[in-house]
Amino acid sequence: MPSPAWAQAGLAPITLHECRHTFASLMIAAGVNAKALSTYMGHANIAITLDKYGHLMPGNEAEAAGMLDATSPARRTAPPSQLSRRPPKPRPRAKSGPSAQM
């Protein structure tokens, strides 16, 4: 039977297990890193935390690619018109010296 405190607060009662998941979700939303959360949750390793709560972690593949692009020196210095072009191929040099005359 739920405690009267739940009803007084206008909340539906949740289990201790649900409280644990809520705690983890709120920690992720607050920006706590996965390793720290793993420690707080008492998980044996970070893989357990990432398997259980990874879908709640901020970022995705597209965001990660954008962050990597932002760190590229070429992306910071090249004008936008040059970013999609491939660099020109080097031309072969003309041989010079005695072996070039044979």
pLDDT tens column, 8-56: 999 899 999 999 999 999 999 999 999 999 999 999 999 999 999 998 8
DSSP string, 20-68: HHHHHHHHHHTT--HHHHHHHHT-SSHHHHHHHHGGGSS--HHHHHHHH
Which is nearest to 13 in space by CA: 31, 1, 26? 1
Query: Model's pTM, two decimal places?
Result: 0.56
